Structure 1
Amino acid sequence: MTLVLAAHGTRDPAGALVVEDIAAAVRQRLAVDVEVAYVDVRSPSLADVLRSVDSAVVVPLFLAAGYHVRVDVPSQVLASGCSSVVVTPALGPALLMLDAVYARLVGAGWEHGNAVVLAAAGSSDARAVADVHRAARRLSLLTGSDVQVGFITSAQPSVPAAVAACSAGPVAIASWLLAPGLFHQRLADMGADLVSEPIGGHPRVVDLIVRRAQDAGIVDLSTMLVGQ
């Protein structure tokens, strides 16, 4: 069985490198084949990768369960004709993901007491927007203060509006983006005093993917590589 990491896709080569780095880290942790696929923009498509394997577990590398997770992923699974596919939940607002965001925030210079805006790509899907708000509430527990939500596109409030609504003092943007690209570049001009790096291949992200694989039955502790 093959573990397929299904990402959105970006024209920014740095974004693709992040996905490949995550896949490489997962390969080091698990004794299974790991492939990368994309649901948009880049190739290979998820459908093409699934056509090349006999059975697969697909982990959607998305931070919210929006259109790509609810429509694109299942439609490409169906189009592939692969007879044995399990699709796990997306990464979403899992606690491990918020651990990674918090680490990026601290690494960017954020200090306790400074305001935080969680900046997400945005979606017209109310369920995806709810996932972002759930992530903000969980990040609030780590920062010890309220975390505002701002969207780069497709939803309100915008990131600049969320930053402007913060009380006096330094304001930090916590990037709720997996990989670098146009959206992350835009955060630099949205009025905050600092912006954290995208989540990227943080070890907690790898931990979550491994957990998704275990929950899907692709691997158990007996098949994990020695020393991990």
Structure 2
Amino acid sequence: MAHGTRNPHGVALIGDLACAMRERLDVDVSVAFVDVLGPSPSEALARLNRETTVVPAFLGRGYHVRRDIPEHLSRPGLPPTRVTDSLGPSDEVLAALVDRLDEAGRRRGDAVVLAAAGSSDPMAVADVEEVADRLSSLVDAPVTVAFAAPSPRVAHIPSVAEAVSRTRGRVAVASHLLAPGLFQSRLCESGADLGARPRALPPHSLDRPGAHPPQPLPDRA
């Protein structure tokens, strides 16, 4: 179960993740979205009509994981479900972050901005800050947390563009996002020297007909 996006590349990528799970686990895998588009989690479960394991495709334990998904699963008439943990924070998420930064051309000494979607949920914010602390140790550089969509209830966390403008020297933006979409576009417009691709964007997915490869970020003034 993923968030949802109007970006067709992002939607296709979630489909790719489902296919990869299907191949690795040798089980049926369906996709549902909690926002923007459907089917919703409750709609998908109603169609399956059998005991199901729900995998929240989210990088932290925010509102959608702790409230939206349980609310859908509690609706009457649905089959019994088991729910896994969200994808992060985890060692695998940290390793993917470092890989994406290195792939983008990060150099030793670059400052790093960890850019997340944004949330007013304290647990989601704590998860992002934990990832930033651990990432700082892995890349041996300061890591600033920023939100693509800052919440007024979390005023101490700047937008990505603000965080980049406050940072001296070369700045690399680490995308704490799962798929391309509106928030990734905001990262590309932040003015950073370089930006990493979303977490789940494998190089071969860019070969899909109609896919749009990431564009280079403009030079900083």
Q: TM-score range by the shorter chain?
A: 0.7 to 0.9
Going from structure 1 to structure 2, the CA distance change for 1:80 and 1:170 (only over 3 Å counts) comes to: farther
Does residue 73 (structure 1) correspond to residue 74 (structure 2)? The answer is no
- 1:198 positional shift: 0.5
Report the AA paired with residue 143 of structure 1.
V
**Amino-acid identity (%):** 50
CA distance in 1, matches of 2:110, 2:141: 9
Q: Which residue matches 2:208?
A: none
**Is 1:55–1:82's contact at 8 Å kept on the other side of the alignment?**
no
Could you report, residue by residue, the CA deviation over 1:54-86 in whole angstroms, capped at 9, with x for unpaired residues? 111111011121111111101111126324201
Q: Which residue matches 1:148?
A: 144
Matched residues, number: 197
CA distance in 2, matches of 1:27, 1:187: 31
CA distance in 1, matches of 2:67, 2:109: 40
Report the AA paired with residue 55 of structure 1.
E
Q: Which runs of 5+ in 1 are unaligned?
A: 1-5, 204-228
- 1:23 positional shift: 0.9
Q: Which residue matches 1:214?
A: none
TM-score by length of 1: 0.82
Q: Which residue matches 1:163?
A: 164
CA distance in 2, matches of 1:162, 1:32: 43
Q: Which residue matches 1:50?
A: 45
Q: Give the CA RMSD over aligned residues.
A: 1.6
SS of 1:18's equivalent in the other structure is helix
CA distance in 1, matches of 2:189, 2:71: 36
**Is 2:45–2:79's contact at 8 Å kept on the other side of the alignment?**
no
Q: Which runs of 5+ in 2 are unaligned?
A: 204-221
CA distance in 2, matches of 1:80, 1:23: 26
Q: Which residue matches 2:4?
A: 9
**Is 1:58–1:87's contact at 8 Å kept on the other side of the alignment?**
yes
TM-score by length of 2: 0.84
Q: Relative CO higher for 1 or 2, CA cutoff 8 Å, sep ≥ 6?
A: 1
More displaced stretch, 127-136 vs 182-191:
182-191
CA distance in 2, matches of 1:185, 1:161: 15
CA distance in 1, matches of 2:32, 2:99: 27
Between Structure 1 and Structure 2, the one with more strand by share is: 1
Q: Which residue matches 2:118?
A: 122
